[in-house]
Chains A and B, each alone.
Chain A
Amino acid sequence: MTVNEPMVEAIGVHKSYAGVEVLKGVNLTVSRGEVTCLIGPSGSGKSTLLRCINHLEKHDAGELRVDGELVGYEARGDKLYELNDRRICHERSQIGMVFQRFNLFQNLNVLENVTVGPIKVKDVNDERAKKFARELLQRVGLEGKEKNYPTQLSGGQQQRVAIARALAMEPKLMLFDEPTSALDPELVGEVLDVMKDLARSGMTMIVVTHEMGFAKEVADTVYFLDQGVIEESGDPKVVLTSPSSPRLQSFLSKVL
């Protein structure tokens, strides 16, 4: 494992649901500290790819590595051994994920949402977890909301708590699955600001998004997925302003 090794590497990743092939051989490389945006029409497989990376979905074929380790498998000799649940959970605990619909734990208040992971999964003691959680909540601009329940917060606030919850696990990689798609337009900005701040701090991020402005401003690399394959990828300033594939041209003309 070297520093130059990519954080995420996908080679020919395939995934089907009930006979429908969603990913048809996807190649992708995410370097450490980079922000990668996945764009594309709905149903193109962006979210599925993201979910394969933290093994919420099991890919059918191809090689998928996070931090040099195969996702869900262990290579010994010339055979692949499926990991047991405990090992998979350990792999996942190092990858943060933020969902389109926030998915904050409804039965826990804001502080408990942020501390439950470290306390239960990483065996961090209560006091340290709370202290760190308060720091994170301050960082996402939600100090003073510790005792509120998720239903008492706006969508933007909930998503920021969700980001703090993921960060509390001190992940080496953050996945964002359309983090602003369920938000009122006026609340999108506050979430994107937190994400930009996170990007500046050097976090490796993969973001599925429809926010082309964000992609252009923050992303180091953009991948355009269409019908389960990467149609085009590269520097967002090039890809998003002068796309070469006709599919991306027509997609951008509809989105922008």
Chain B
Amino acid sequence: MSTNGDVDVKVVPVRHVGQWIGVAFLALFVAMLIHTLFSKIPSGSRTCHLVGGRYQCHAILKWRFGWNVIFHYFTNGEVLRGLVITLELTVLAMVIGIVLGVVVAIMRLSRSRLLSGAAWTYTWLFRGTPVYVQLLLWGFIGFLYPTFAIGIPFTHIYLFHFGANTVFIPFNAAVAGLGLNEGAYFSEIVRSGLIAVDEGQTEAATSLGMTRGQSLRYVVLPQAMRVIIPPTGNEVISMLKTTSLVSVVAVVDLLGAVANIYGQTYQIMPMLLLASMWYLIVSTILSVGQFYLERYFSRGALRTPPPTPIQRIRRDLHGIASKYRTKRGVQVGA
């Protein structure tokens, strides 16, 4: 490196000895972990062979992690049906949660006492009780209200009515429970997003003659999205996993399907690992989606949006390539 442009001074970078020791320990630990992942342990049964007139017995080994079981059941019909139920629950509950959340957040910030009071009460009720209990309550709502009807209050004149058990079948009860609970949390996320937008933006929209609704729709909400999207990604991933509670209302989701199988085969650990893998795969896909959504909504807020992973890889490769070319004395660029 040259300092003043005339004399070349050699610069010795700081040596990070501690870092190298840390890396060595970490590498050792990872190696041990990988070893256990692919190690075999005695299965508990023995096998015996007749060798030279005598029986020789030895223990049968099996994969510690039950890879063969995982592999066997990975795309099992029952497991996949459960996965579909899990995805359906996640999507439906999130749609209900997001719609409710946006409506409730806007109500909460409304000038009307009635609307903001109603919104506050909803959030208080559904955020203040465990989702597990709420699921059970929706599942057994028939005990409280055996029938639902629309008609003239306090009379027996009905337009139509139906039994609770025909509507709140397990799947619907699960969607209602998860969705209503999510709405309460989501409304707080939306509210924080709306509050985070500079008041000047609303003022400018108002001064153009926009109504409150227009300024919300064209100016405030799009900007609030930048604050809302990252926690929404969290919420979707969290919902994906929370759906595993629905077995309490007798819905067979991914975990339920896996439990049904290990109830018969007693392969508990491999089946749970299998379920975990599916949850991980789906949440990974969701994270990727979240990255691109965030990037989209950062338009205007950042001078240069962050590169996508593909752009980053391409840039790195390009960097390496050009370095290689300069080393070999080839001129780069013009």
A residues adjacent to B (C-beta < 8 A): 54, 56, 85-86, 89-97, 99, 101, 103-109, 116-117, 120-122, 149-152, 162, 165-166, 169
Q: Who on chain B is nearest to A122 by CB? A: B209
Q: Who on chain A is nearest to B200 by CB? A: A103
Beyond the given A95-B207, A103-B204, A106-B300, please list 18 additional residue pairs across the A-B interface where CB-CB is below 8 A: A56-B207, A91-B209, A92-B207, A99-B200, A99-B203, A103-B198, A103-B203, A105-B223, A106-B201, A107-B219, A107-B300, A108-B219, A116-B208, A116-B218, A116-B219, A117-B209, A121-B209, A151-B300
Residue in B201, B206, B209 whose CB lies within 8 Å of A105: B201
In the complex, the answer to whether B209 meets A92 with C-beta atoms within 8 Å is yes
Most buried by A among B207, B210, B211, B302: B207
Residue in A85, A101, A105, A166 whose CB lies within 8 Å of B219: A105
User: Does residue B301 face the partner (Cβ distance < 8 Å to A)?
Assistant: yes
Interchain Cβ contacts under 8 Å between A and B, 30 examples: A85-B212, A86-B211, A89-B209, A89-B211, A91-B209, A92-B206, A93-B208, A93-B209, A95-B207, A99-B204, A103-B201, A103-B203, A105-B201, A105-B204, A105-B223, A106-B223, A106-B300, A106-B301, A107-B219, A107-B300, A108-B219, A109-B300, A116-B218, A120-B210, A120-B218, A151-B300, A152-B303, A165-B204, A165-B208, A166-B208
Report B106 CB to chain A, min CB distance, Å: 15
Complex Cα–Cα for A105 and B203 (A): 11
The 9 closest A-B CB pairs, nearest first, are: A93-B209, A103-B204, A103-B200, A117-B208, A97-B207, A149-B300, A107-B222, A121-B209, A92-B209
Contacts of A93 in B (CB 8 A): 208-209
Contacts of A116 in B (CB 8 A): 208, 218-219
Report B34 CB to chain A, min CB distance, Å: 47
User: Does residue B109 face the partner (Cβ distance < 8 Å to A)?
Assistant: no
Segment 184-236 of B: residues with Cβ below 8 Å from A: 198, 200-201, 203-212, 214, 218-219, 222-223
Segment 261-303 of B: residues with Cβ below 8 Å from A: 299-303
Complex Cα–Cα for A165 and B218 (A): 15
Report B301 CB to chain A, min CB distance, Å: 6
In the complex, the answer to whether B210 meets A89 with C-beta atoms within 8 Å is yes
Contacts of B201 in A (CB 8 A): 103, 105-106
Complex Cα–Cα for A90 and B207 (A): 10
Complex Cα–Cα for A109 and B300 (A): 7
In the complex, the answer to whether A56 meets B206 with C-beta atoms within 8 Å is yes
Interface size on B, residues (CB 8 A): 23
Complex Cα–Cα for A162 and B207 (A): 12
Report A53 CB to chain B, min CB distance, Å: 11
Q: Who on chain B is nearest to A90 by CB? A: B209
Contacts of B204 in A (CB 8 A): 97, 99, 103-105, 162, 165
In the complex, the answer to whether A101 meets B200 with C-beta atoms within 8 Å is yes
Q: Who on chain B is nearest to A93 by CB? A: B209
Complex Cα–Cα for A106 and B208 (A): 15
Complex Cα–Cα for A121 and B302 (A): 28
Contacts of A109 in B (CB 8 A): 300
Complex Cα–Cα for A103 and B206 (A): 11
In the complex, the answer to whether A151 meets B207 with C-beta atoms within 8 Å is no
Contacts of B198 in A (CB 8 A): 103
Contacts of B301 in A (CB 8 A): 106-107, 151
Most buried by A among B198, B200, B212: B200
Q: Who on chain A is nearest to B301 by CB? A: A106
Q: Who on chain A is nearest to B225 by CB? A: A107
Report A149 CB to chain B, min CB distance, Å: 4
Report B303 CB to chain A, min CB distance, Å: 6
Known contacts A108-B300, A151-B302; is-contact A121 B207 (Cβ 8 Å): no
In the complex, the answer to whether A107 meets B299 with C-beta atoms within 8 Å is yes
Contacts of A120 in B (CB 8 A): 210, 214, 218
Most buried by A among B209, B210, B223, B302: B209
Report B68 CB to chain A, min CB distance, Å: 53
Report A206 CB to chain B, min CB distance, Å: 13
Q: Who on chain B is nearest to A152 by CB? A: B303
Complex Cα–Cα for A116 and B204 (A): 12
Contacts of A97 in B (CB 8 A): 204, 207
Report A121 CB to chain B, min CB distance, Å: 5
Complex Cα–Cα for A225 and B236 (A): 55
Complex Cα–Cα for A151 and B303 (A): 7
Complex Cα–Cα for A93 and B206 (A): 8
Contacts of A166 in B (CB 8 A): 207-208
Q: Who on chain B is nearest to A100 by CB? A: B200
Complex Cα–Cα for A120 and B216 (A): 12
